[in-house]
């Protein structure tokens, strides 16, 4: 790696003018490792230059650059493929008739099941090598997290993250993690989990409560940024496809909502509070409604809807489609892939 310092940027700028002429647009990639690069960027921006700054390191994506370039930047987060982008990648054309014909529903369901397991990482979907997802994960752990935060025992970090990813969507407390990993304190574990969130590898959901204090002290749930990481990192031998739907729905809802899980006498997977004027929504995720789980899934949704003062809730499954009312609450059961197409405006 070239030993470049921020003071060298001016020379590079002058060389660029000499070789290629004046340009008022700069493209900087992976520049976060050059200490003080923000000063160069800010100085030239004040002179009317424009910059595109890209990178995968958490430092670049954190609030630090916001502090040093206050009011002078626009953040764009590039996520893994959404389901509609995945369909476009697979060259599948969605029409209004797609969900109403047997052939169309069969094709969409098959494609969704592939997306559910593999996730939306373009390189992995192109070449089909799971090692590519694992390499991305290792880059995040080794470069974005361990190097930046000076963590020497990377094995301990990997063990903690593997456990969180393997047990995604299960409730946990930092105290319970402390008992599982005797080498780390409660505060250290909380920091390690926050590093995962900073690097956009996953997010922690609080239990819904009108009390901020209760949100902070109650059990948490961890969800992974892309289902491909679950396939690559999890040590679980069997794939719980209902939980994979739950993880996917969480990631989608978080794009536009503040998301919580609900726990009362019963449990509901998600309370979604829109960042705007729209009212709250409640969601339950399961592979299918069966005589064995129907009462549990329905009761959790009804309890959450009543506590929030709304008259409906949504149950997302792999292919069931029905509506019914119970205890004054309208329950909408719909295939998750249909919900995704409508969510992204493809239908």
pLDDT digits (tens, 9 = 90+) for 293-326: 999 999 999 999 999 999 999 999 999 999 999 9
How confident is the model over 11-16, as a mean pLDDT?
80
Q: Where are the domains of the chain?
A: 6-68
Q: Mean pLDDT over residues 37-64, rounded?
A: 73
- HSE, side-chain direction, 13 A CA sphere, residue 245: 25
User: What is the DSSP code (8-state) at residue 34?
Assistant: S
Considering only CA atoms, which of 6, 14, 59 is closest in space to residue 34?
A: 6
Give the pLDDT score at 200.
86
Of 31-35, 172-176, 302-306, the one with minimum mean pLDDT is 31-35
Q: Sorting pLDDT into bands at 50, 70 and 90, what band is 15?
A: confident
Output the average pLDDT for the chain: 88
Alpha helices in the chain (DSSP H): 9-20, 37-45, 58-61, 63-68, 83-89, 102-118, 122-127, 130-139, 154-166, 174-180, 186-198, 212-217, 227-233, 241-253, 294-308, 336-343
pLDDT band with cut points at 50, 70 and 90 for residue 1: very low
Instruction: Decide which of 7 and 84 is more confident.
Output: 84
What is the reported pTM? 0.87
pLDDT at position 330 is 97
Return the percentage of the chain with pLDDT > 70, whole number.
92
Q: How far apart are CA 237 and CA 245, in angstroms?
A: 17
User: What pLDDT is recorded for position 49?
Assistant: 84
For 229-258, letters b (16+ CB in 10 Å) and e give bbbbbbeeeeeeebbbbbbbbbbbbbeebe
Mean pLDDT of all residues in 22-43: 78
Tell me, letter by letter, the H, E, C secondary structure of 239-287: CCHHHHHHHHHHHHHCCCEEEEEEECCCEEEEEEEECCCCCCEEEEECC
Least confident window among 70-74, 82-86, 342-346 = 70-74
Confidence band of 86 (pLDDT split at 50, 70, 90)? very high
Taking alpha carbons only, the member of 259, 179, 254 closest to residue 215 is: 259
Short-list 285, 277, 327, 278, CA closest to 307: 327
Q: Between residues 212 and 320, which one has the greater pLDDT?
A: 320
Contact yes or no for 323/333 (Cβ under 8 A): yes
């Amino acid at each position: 790696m070239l030993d470049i310092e921020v003071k060298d940027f001016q020379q590079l700028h002058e060389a660029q003018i000499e070789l290629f002429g004046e340009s008022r647009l700069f493209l900087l990639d992976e520049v976060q490792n050059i200490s003080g690069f923000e000063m160069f960027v800010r100085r030239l921006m004040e002179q009317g230059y424009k910059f595109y700054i890209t990178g995968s390191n958490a430092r670049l994506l954190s609030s630090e650059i916001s502090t040093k370039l206050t009011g002078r930047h626009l953040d764009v987060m590039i996520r893994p493929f959404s389901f509609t982008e995945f369909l476009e990648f697979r060259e599948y054309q969605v029409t209004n008739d797609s969900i109403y014909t047997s052939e169309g529903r069969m094709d969409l369901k098959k494609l969704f099941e592939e997306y559910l397991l593999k996730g939306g990482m373009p390189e992995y979907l192109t070449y089909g090598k799971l090692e590519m997802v694992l390499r991305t994960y290792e880059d995040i752990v080794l470069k974005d997290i361990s190097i930046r935060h000076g963590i020497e025992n990377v094995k301990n970090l990997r063990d903690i993250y593997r456990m969180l990813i393997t047990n995604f969507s299960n409730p946990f407390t930092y105290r319970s993690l402390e008992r599982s990993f005797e080498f780390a304190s409660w505060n250290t574990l909380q920091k390690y989990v926050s590093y995962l969130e900073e690097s956009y590898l996953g997010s922690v959901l609080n239990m819904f409560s009108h009390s901020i204090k209760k949100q902070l002290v109650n059990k948490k749930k961890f969800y992974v940024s892309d289902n491909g990481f679950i396939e690559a990192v999890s040590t679980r031998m069997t794939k719980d496809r209902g939980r994979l739907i739950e993880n996917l729905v969480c990631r989608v809802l978080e794009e536009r909502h503040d998301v919580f899980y609900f726990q009362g006498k019963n449990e509901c997977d998600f309370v979604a509070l829109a960042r705007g004027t729209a009212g709250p929504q409640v969601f339950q995720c399961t592979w299918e409604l069966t005589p064995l789980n129907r009462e549990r899934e329905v009761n959790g949704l009804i309890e959450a809807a009543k506590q929030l003062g709304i008259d409906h809730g949504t149950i997302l499954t792999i292919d069931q489609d029905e509506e019914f009312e119970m205890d004054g609450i309208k329950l909408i059961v719909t295939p998750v892939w249909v919900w995704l197409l409508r969510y992204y405006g493809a239908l």
